[in-house]
Amino acid sequence: MTLLPILFAAALSFGREDAALAYRTAKDFSATCSPRDAGTERGRMAANYILDHASAVGGNVRLDPFVAMTPDGEMRFVNVVAEFTCGDPDAEWVVLVSHYDTKRGIDSPFANDGASTTGLLVGFANAFSQYRSSGAKGNLMMIWTDGEESFNAYGPDDGLWGSRHAAGKLKREGRKIKAVICLDMLGDADLGISLPANSSKALRQIVHHAAKEAGYSVKVKDIKEFLRDDHVPFLQRGFKAVDMIDFEYGSAPGKNDWWHTPQDTADHISEESLYVSGRIVCEVLNVLLF
């Protein structure tokens, strides 16, 4: 008789080493790829950085370039997409979304806004490199979106370009999408996760449940505000979507005065916050994918 190796872990996990990689990547990305405004050469450099770093740790990663109309005329954008499949071609997809671009005209490393969750997705790519043998019954897609930030003010031709492109494409391809989870500014050293009112209610409940399972219920709250973030174009296409965002990023509790300022620096994000965020998101995935 021989002992069978354990083939199925029956859940995804996100550990300290994955959080360390997420944090290292976020800091390095903001240091070497800022600014990374949509449609610029540096924006394309940032996309290639993500492609290289996500490919290096595992996952089937590709660039998804596209053209869209902007207040400045037609411009080129590029999303980065990674797919983790369970082996069943008919299985449903869960989509994780994080933008990587920066807001124009602000001299800042954007360490939290754009870089922190870019690093977090790279940490997930590392954590889930053995996805197929995890026992997951669904597929997982990660999209690093370009052009989340508006040039002037959000509108039909301004901002959310990457998520609009991705949502339209998933719709046209007829993919079965179970849920879309948007991650934004979750590296804040003083972490608090808000779920805007324009998020699917069932998904908000799963996030609360997952946070409790992971032991972090105090860090997640529903807010009454509607936020324009990358989850909106997916909602508009009829997909269920939730936005997990830390929109109290500032010098005192409740303030957001470091957002879109030169104070969005690496010393205001932490590995611990990426660990906590990562653990909660991982539990959400375990609810949705198993």
Footprint of Zn ion (CB under 5 A): 113
In sequence order, the 6+-apart residues with CB closer than 8 A to the CB of 190 are: 248, 253, 273
In sequence order, the 6+-apart residues with CB closer than 8 A to the CB of 238 are: 171
| Between 102 and 199, CB nearer to Zn ion | 102
| Between 47 and 288, CB nearer to Zn ion | 47
CA–CA distance, 183 with 164 (Å, rounded to integer) = 16
CA–CA distance, 239 with 235 (Å, rounded to integer) = 5
Cβ of residue 149: shortest distance to Zn ion, in angstroms?
A: 5
Contact 243, 98 (CB under 8 A): no
Q: Which of 116, 241, 137, 285 is nearest to 187 (CA)?
A: 116
Cβ of residue 137: shortest distance to Zn ion, in angstroms?
A: 35
| Between 68 and 106, CB nearer to Zn ion | 106
Cβ of residue 114: shortest distance to Zn ion, in angstroms?
A: 7
Examine residue 5 and say whether the peptide bond preceding it is cis (omega within 30 degrees of 0): no
Cβ of residue 261: shortest distance to Zn ion, in angstroms?
A: 11
Chain position whose Cβ is nearest to Zn ion: 113
Cβ of residue 240: shortest distance to Zn ion, in angstroms?
A: 24
| Between 185 and 241, CB nearer to Zn ion | 185
| Between 113 and 283, CB nearer to Zn ion | 113
Residue 91, both tokens = 């299985």
